[in-house]
Amino acid sequence: MTIRGFGVCALLLSCGSGAKDQQVIASGAHVLPAWTFATHEGELYSAENAKGRVTIVLFLTTYDPTSQIAATLLNDEIHKLSRRVNALGVALEPPNHAVLVGVFHDSLHLSYPLLMPDPATMAGAGPFGVLEVVPIWVLLDTSGREIWRGTGVRAFPELQAMLRRLGARAEE
C-alpha cells in the first residue's frame, strides 16, 4: 500500500507504530499563500473564510484508518472547545474521488467541511507545502498564519495543548 509515493512505513509513522511521530512547532508563525479548496459538492472554502478564528486543518485520505481516527477525534474535540474554532479537513485525493469523500464525511457524521485539494496541493506545491504522510494537523492563528504542524494521531495531544495555550480549549 502506498500513500502518494510512500509505502507502509510512512503510514505506520503517522499512526504511531512505535516509531516517533514527526512534530514540528513553527519557530515563528508564517503567512500562507492564498488558498481555495472546494467541498465534494463544489462549494468553495478559502483562506479568507478561515480568518478571524483559530483554524484546525486536517489533511487525510479516505482509505487510511488513522485518518478516520483523526477525523473523529477532531469532530469530538471541536464540540468541547470553550470558543468556536474553524475546523476543516482536506482529503488528499483526486477529483474523481469526490463522491467517496462525501460518503466518508457523511458516514462519520463530521460537523466540519471536508474539502478537495487543488492540483498544486496534490502535487506538493500548494500553500501548505509537501504533505507526505497522513494525517497531518495544521493550526492557523486568527490571521491565517501557520503556527503549528504535527503528523499522526499521536500529535493530537500536542494540538490540544496548543489550543489551550491559545485559550480556545475548554478546561476539563
Q: What pLDDT, on a 0 to 100 scale, did the predictor assign at position 168?
A: 61
61: β partners: none
At residue 28 the predicted structure's pLDDT band, cuts being 50, 70 and 90, is low
Task: Summarize the confidence of residues 6-25 as an average pLDDT.
Answer: 35
Per the confidence metrics, is the pTM higher than 0.95? no
Q: What pLDDT, on a 0 to 100 scale, did the predictor assign at position 114?
A: 98
Q: Which domains does the chain have, with CATH numbers?
A: 8-165 (3.40.30.10)
Q: What pLDDT, on a 0 to 100 scale, did the predictor assign at position 49?
A: 93
pLDDT in tens, 71-126: 999 999 999 987 889 999 999 999 999 999 999 999 999 999 999 999 999 999 99
- What is d(CA 113, CA 125) in angstroms, rounded to the nearest whole number? 22
Task: Summarize the confidence of residues 130-138 as an average pLDDT.
Answer: 96
Name the grid cell of 132: 507526505
Pairing of strands 86-91, 55-60: parallel
Q: Specify whether the CB–CB gap between 71 and 60 falls below 8 A.
A: yes
H runs (alpha helix) in 59-133 = 65-78, 98-107, 119-122
- What is d(CA 113, CA 157) in angstroms, rounded to the nearest whole number? 22
- Phi, psi angle pair for 29, to nearest 5°: -60, 140
Percent of the chain whose predicted confidence (pLDDT) is above 90: 73
Percent of the chain whose predicted confidence (pLDDT) is above 70: 81
pLDDT in tens, 43-83: 999 999 999 999 999 999 999 999 999 999 999 999 998 78
Q: What pLDDT, on a 0 to 100 scale, did the predictor assign at position 83?
A: 81
Task: Summarize the confidence of residues 136-156 as an average pLDDT.
Answer: 96
